[in-house]
Amino acid sequence: MTISSSLNAGVSGLSANASRLASISDNIANSATRGYKRVQTDFHSMVLSGSGGAYSAGGVRTTNVRLIDERGPLVSTNNATDLAVRGRGMLPVASITEVEAGGSPTMLLTSTGSFRTDSNGYLSTESGLVLMGFPASADGTIPDVARDTSNSLEPIHIDLNRLSAEPTTEISLTANLPASETDPGASGDPVEHVVQYFDNMGRSEELSITYTPTVAVAPATTGTNEWTMQIVDSATGATVIGEYTLTFDDSASTAGTLQSVATVTGGTYDATAGSVTITTASGPVEINIGVIGEQNGMSQLGDEFVPGTTVKDGTAVGSFVSVEINESGEVIAKYDSGDTKVIYKVPLADVSNLNGMQSLDSQTYKPTDDSGAFYLWDAGNGPTGEILGYAQEESAVDVATELTDMIKTQRAYSSNAKVIQTVDEMLQETTNIKR
């Protein structure tokens, strides 16, 4: 029995070391595979109860564990949608075959990927993985969705032919009105300021803003410091859509700043924001003219009208140029008009036991009961790290370590083979006793 158990132990040793050599071979073969997680073979002794003081060899068995929680080094690339995760968390992906078949594809997880837009507009890898994300609303916000299920995830699809336009909703005016034009005997000639804006169809329109001074009448010796501001929208003709009376301060400390704003027609002046809201043909537009007593917006100094820099939002119609993904996972479409839009948000999935997930092809993994349930975090929140564009994760394999382990495995295999050879010789000697 003891000799027989020695033979069995030697055989189990050969099998165990053959299994370890297989994992080492796989690791070395994938030493250049982006995002590859190395396999570790662990040995476990098997102890059998002996009888009568004799020892019975139990042998050895092995378990193979893919170390998904180990991360390889990150390297820079020149593709904006090459993605890697700095820290904890996995990117949600799906098989392109399931996506094109329709329905709800199975969510898989990966730590890195080189994603590019394919012929159908999906952001996918050459190995057939499509990046998944939460679709954004028209205003670029992400609706509240359940994060413990993948039902709200969608394959990221880029519409290359879609145009973009953003209407103007805010304008900041800066202009200096000549103080001398409100003095007694001044000409009282109005000055005009034309501001371009974009309507909700992406068309260019103009706001014609006319400033008319209120001229002081003799025997007054100082100016009125008062102007009437009228706003006309080119989209609606000559109709005045806003009229305001602007009075400027002439005191020593705050000379030239707004003292008061009186509404004749249009939206009421918001003293806190320093703005008025007018209604154009395409909707309301907030015009910031400055806060009372502060050196911003409109001013009245000197003898010249000087229109300042006009800052406004909104863009004309633009064509799609490129797409990028920022650290928080927002998928941002860029257009040649300068407009940018958030169209999806890529979350990061996390599970309690990363190494408990099921390993699949192309460095993808599937949550299981051993891994625990997943949760879809916003990148950078909770335990998760950040999503890096222009980056990929290298293989987690150290070739030098694998080669060293290969030498150890070879020696152990040879030693187990020697055990079997020795047992064979001992059994032969036992057989020779009969002769």
User: What single DSSP character describes residue 183?
Assistant: S
- pLDDT category of residue 24 using cuts at 50, 70 and 90: very high
Q: What is the pLDDT of residue 1?
A: 56
* 256 vs 295: CA distance, rounded Å: 8
CB hemisphere CA count around 28 (13 angstroms): 14
Burial 322-355 (b: 16+ CB within 10 A, else e): ebebbeebbbbbbbebebbbbbbbbbbbbbeebb
* 348 vs 110: CA distance, rounded Å: 10
- pLDDT category of residue 203 using cuts at 50, 70 and 90: confident
Please give the model's pTM, rounded to 2 decimal places: 0.75
Average pLDDT over residues 321-332: 94
Q: What is the pLDDT of residue 7?
A: 83
* 365 vs 379: CA distance, rounded Å: 19
Q: What is the pLDDT of residue 314?
A: 87
The tokens for 434 are: 């009969």
Average pLDDT over residues 52-81: 89
Q: How far is CA 415 from CA 13, 14, 105, 209, 402, in A?
A: 9, 9, 50, 94, 20
Q: Residue 267 pLDDT > 80, yes or no?
A: yes
* 100 vs 373: CA distance, rounded Å: 27
* 242 vs 232: CA distance, rounded Å: 7
Share of the chain above pLDDT 90, in %: 74
Q: What is the pLDDT of residue 94?
A: 96
Q: Find out whether the peptide bond into 219 is cis, omega within 30 degrees of 0.
A: yes
All structural domains of the chain with their residue ranges: 2-70+396-432, 79-158+345-385, 170-313
Tokens 């152990």 belong to residue:
412
Q: Residue 277 pLDDT > 80, yes or no?
A: yes
Query: What tens digit of pLDDT does each residue of 76-91 get?
Result: 999 999 999 999 999 9
Average pLDDT over residues 168-189: 93
Query: What tens digit of pLDDT does each residue of 108-146 get?
Result: 999 999 999 998 999 999 999 999 999 999 888 999 999
Q: What is the pLDDT of residue 263?
A: 95
Q: Residue 49 pLDDT > 80, yes or no?
A: no
- pLDDT category of residue 162 using cuts at 50, 70 and 90: confident
Q: What is the pLDDT of residue 51?
A: 63
CA-nearest of 344, 298, 282 to 191 is 298
Output the CATH code of domain 170-313: 2.60.98.20
Q: What is the pLDDT of residue 39?
A: 96
Q: What is the pLDDT of residue 31?
A: 95
Q: Residue 50 pLDDT > 80, yes or no?
A: no
